Structure 1
Amino acid sequence: SFVGMNALLDFNWRFATNGIELTEAEFNELVASNRRLVNIRGQWVKIDPQFIKQMKRLMEKAESEGLHMSDILARELMDQQDGGLEDSDLIDTSAFAGIQFDLSKQLRSLIRKLTAAENLPEHEVSPSFKGTLRPYQKYGMNWLLFLRESGFGACLADDMGLGKTIQMIAYFLHVKESGRQKTPHLIIAPTSVLGNWQRELQTFAPD
């Protein structure tokens, strides 16, 4: 139910050459044969034995260590970045650097929502919220709720004075009223802002 950065994903391999998809047994036979020219279902195909062995090692590594959400996100974000490989922060150094991923519909939808604002699910502000959120504040609430539902953490980084506290209050209300929060929220903050939190809670969510 959660897809946080360290969550392991289910996956399966497909290996194809010259448009011919191989079974696992056929692929293992290629590895064992160590030949450069092989006949696959009546078609002669030139094969690089070193490449085949490299693929075998990658498959074994993935089977033993699993495939993490972070591997998929790093690849997808690089693919979406203009000139992605020029950005040193996004260079993929994982074991899966040479692999193409074909994502399931659910995972592709999740990544679209993470990277495109128009794909974010919208939630109504609770009727018990005593105020009106500006459009960007409502978006912030929706962003927090989406990340919570997806098992990610979040950093709400609006500039000072733009209403991060009331976005959090609207978020707290939604979680509480949806029945998904059974224990108190914990707010860690400097003592200098406790009075502000108390006033805003009394103003916007007295219950």
Structure 2
Amino acid sequence: MRRATGCGARRPPCAWWTRWTSWPGRAGPARAAAAVEELAAGLGDADAPKAQALRRQGQAVLARDEAVLAEVCAELGRLGFRYDEATALARLGGWRASAELLEQALRAFDELGAARDVARVCRVFRGLGLPLPYPWRGGRRSYGSQLSPREHEVAALAAAGKSNREIATRLFLSQRTVESHVARVLRKLGGRSRRDLEDLLGPRP
């Protein structure tokens, strides 16, 4: 097996082509198909793991083969090519309308500083009618059934026997706000009264 450098012997436009595999480019699928064919011909059986993975990625995209694309995602991840893995995840997430896969791609692009790709994934979320994850949707984070940091603070003080007035003074909150926090904590943890909080919160360090 020969070893190739770069993306293959003929050096096809891999940077452009890699982006196409996740984002339909202006040139359309005809140019992409030609690029994949050129890459495959140039590579042959060369020992070029990334280029071979990108070849498989392009072929999977053209054939809309989810199973192969999922394998390529895993392979690119093992090889440590995070950007290419994220582009494959974004494509697969779009095909499957999977918020989980799209969020993985979104967070990877964000960590890599790929702002344009972050914007593209956000558009995919919106186009599919999927809610954007925090912080890209804007506003404050929703903690769902988990306690927020402030709720943890209030709950810990209440469990220690502090009154609403004492908690409000200590945390610079109104008593009404403290009452609301305590009520939400009890609802989330399944408690009936603040006397249950110590057991519900568990041992404190």
TM-score, normalised by the number of residues in structure 2 = 0.33
Greater strand percent: which structure?
A: 1
Greater helix percent: which structure?
A: 2
TM-score, normalised by the number of residues in structure 1 = 0.33
Structure with bigger RCO (C-alpha 8 Å, 6+ apart): 1
